[in-house]
A = this chain, B = another copy of it.
Amino acid sequence: MSTVTAMPIGPGGTRYKEVKEAMLAALTEQEWKGGEVIPSEKKLADRFGVSIGTLRKAIDELCAENILIRHQGLGTFVAQHRRDRHFFRFFRVARRDGDRAYPVVTLVNFKRAKSAPAVAARLGINDGTRLFVFTNALALHDKVVVIDTVMLPETKFPGLTESMLRGRPNTLYNFYQDAFGINVTSTDERLRIGRASELESKLLEIEAGAPVLEVERVAYSINQKPVEYRITHINTEEYEYIAGTSKSSDI
């Protein structure tokens, strides 16, 4: 019977969760784009009809999920994939001595194909859906160590061309963000022993069929929809994959 609160709590839970959902909606509708500053906490609190404390709790969670980034004195920004920030959150390969270098990427293949059942299942699409498929060779310290084979549903990346991939100035996920409004926020990865293909063996300078560390990745966008499927093969003679449970999400 209380009539104290300005607005009743809607279906599904609490006020700050509602605010969070409303902000996620604004982000998916690209009202606020990657790298942009969002309105101040005061303005957002007014807009959603809640106190600053409640509004802050919603932003707290979005920051914890690496969707927003706060900057004291500056404002709150939509997280942007940049080579100099957040890059190593998704690139987990380092030299055995711990040195983490930026890879030099070379596109070695670009084609269209129809989705195999296993890939379609992971991407939540129908078998045979058309995909862009491309392969990148990643060099660390002037030596090719990683081969990425990336598969993207054509419907989510309309108009993607080989030259766009060659010309991109920043990271691949930055490119998804700027060119297609797709914000990769989390990944699911599975690791196992794989075997180098003929092409990979040449690029990695190992024998064909030699064991490599295989990483199967599905990348998810802001609304938890799968947007990318990727198979990575790593030569771990001098490099390794870094995992582990940490409290703060990045490195």
> Contact residues of A with B, CB < 8 Å?
64-66, 89-90, 92, 186-193, 211-213, 215, 217, 236, 239-247, 249
Contact = CB atoms under 8 A, between A and B. Distances in A.
Which of A193, A213, A241, A242 counts the most B-chain CB atoms under 10 A from its CB?
A193
Contacts of A240: 190-192
B193 A191 contact: no
A186 B247 contact: yes
Given A191-B191, A192-B236, A193-B236, A245 B249 contact: yes
Nearest to A60: B60
Contact of A211 (B66, B92, B193): B193
A78 B43 CA distance: 39
Given A193-B211, A213-B193, A186 B244 contact: yes
Given A64-B64, A191-B242, 18 more contacts: A186-B245, A186-B246, A187-B244, A187-B245, A188-B242, A188-B244, A189-B243, A191-B191, A191-B236, A191-B240, A191-B241, A192-B236, A193-B193, A193-B213, A211-B211, A215-B243, A217-B244, A243-B243
Contact of A190 (B192, B193, B242): B242
A247 B65 contact: yes
A246 B240 CA distance: 21
